[in-house]
Structure 1
Amino acid sequence: MRGVYRIDVAGFVATTGAVAVLVDRVGQAMQAARRHADALDAAVSGERDLASALSRVTSPGITAARGAVTRASDVLTAAGQVLVAYVSADDEMAASTAFAAGRAW
């Protein structure tokens, strides 16, 4: 049947919840990595070439991780909004169908 959409709401919520926990852990790990990189930078600040080399190695990865966490959080937020819209529309359809069926009798 065309136009029929089904979402396993409980499965969707469980999966996005599990992903949110993992994204949070990645975010925490990224923050810890940033703190350690900053401490390392401070420890070698007297050696300008070494500090620069370390920064070139650590900064891109930390920046990429931050971007990935931000994007994943945005996707999870959007997914939640889509689910709420789906459930609301499904409830409205069920209510209007029940109302129409009641009027037919």
Structure 2
Amino acid sequence: MTDNPTIPTLPAPDDIGHTLDSLLSLLTQGDKTLSEGEMVDLYGLEREVKPILDTILALPPPQARSLLPKLEQVMAALDQVAGTLERVHGDKLGGRETHATRMRAAQAYRTGKDM
């Protein structure tokens, strides 16, 4: 056997929890900045969040479930940021159609008439 482990170890749920707390703080501050009419650079947010979520998915179910309350807080903060973006900067945002709008458009194309 070698002294170098070949199987990576997962971070402890407490470490992931602290990372989620940092993300929540970032989102809360971003929402405050947005509500003051300023723009916030969200570029790279998905790139930062995806490894966190992938790590949580790799945890044993009981450990992953222990992080659910923090994940729900992060989701609520993301929803808050989205709502603030729409409220404050909605006229500058593109791609605002809803899923229902896209479905009606697809149906109209299939039948050859407007709905």
TM-score (norm 2): 0.35
TM-score, normalising length: structure 1:
0.38
- Name the one with the larger helix percent: 1
Answer with 1 or 2: which has the greater Rg: 1
